[in-house]
Amino acid sequence: MTNTTYVHEYNAIVDVLNQYSEGGAKADSKIMKPAFNEQATMYGVQDGKLVGGAIENLYDIIDTAFRPSPEATAAIVRIDIVGTAASARVDTDNISGFRFTDFFNLLKVEGKWTVVSKIYHTHA
């Protein structure tokens, strides 16, 4: 075969996304932190206004406002990969009483996939 597939890259991205999901379900940012680049950002809309900023805001929320949620379920809806860039969608149910859809942008930096930005929607 002369053309390679993205199977290895896909699986590496799944591992990163699973770190995020596990950290959320266990309400422990230390578990999810390795999934994110230190310069990553997170944004969403609350009461019609843009909220978010540095990824540390996510860690603070996970550690203070979330509770362990063994009933949480997550599904990776899609992953798109082109070279060293990727995007992914993850839907999560029953995490601390919430339902989210997250969109992640990832880059392969120094041989490792890392989330550089996250936007989210909180379902009613």
Its pTM stands at 0.93
pLDDT at 5: 76
CATH class entry, domain 7-122: alpha beta
pLDDT tens-digit readout, 55-99: 999 999 999 999 999 999 999 999 999 999 999 999 999 999 999
Going from N- to C-terminal start, the domains of the chain cover 7-122
CA atoms within 13 Å, Cβ hemisphere of 25: 16
Rounded to whole angstroms, what are the CA distances from 8 to 2, 11, 15, 57, 88? Answer: 16, 5, 11, 31, 16
pLDDT tens-digit readout, 20-47: 999 999 999 999 999 999 999 999 999 9
What residues have CB less than 8 Å from 110, skipping those under 6 apart?
Answer: none
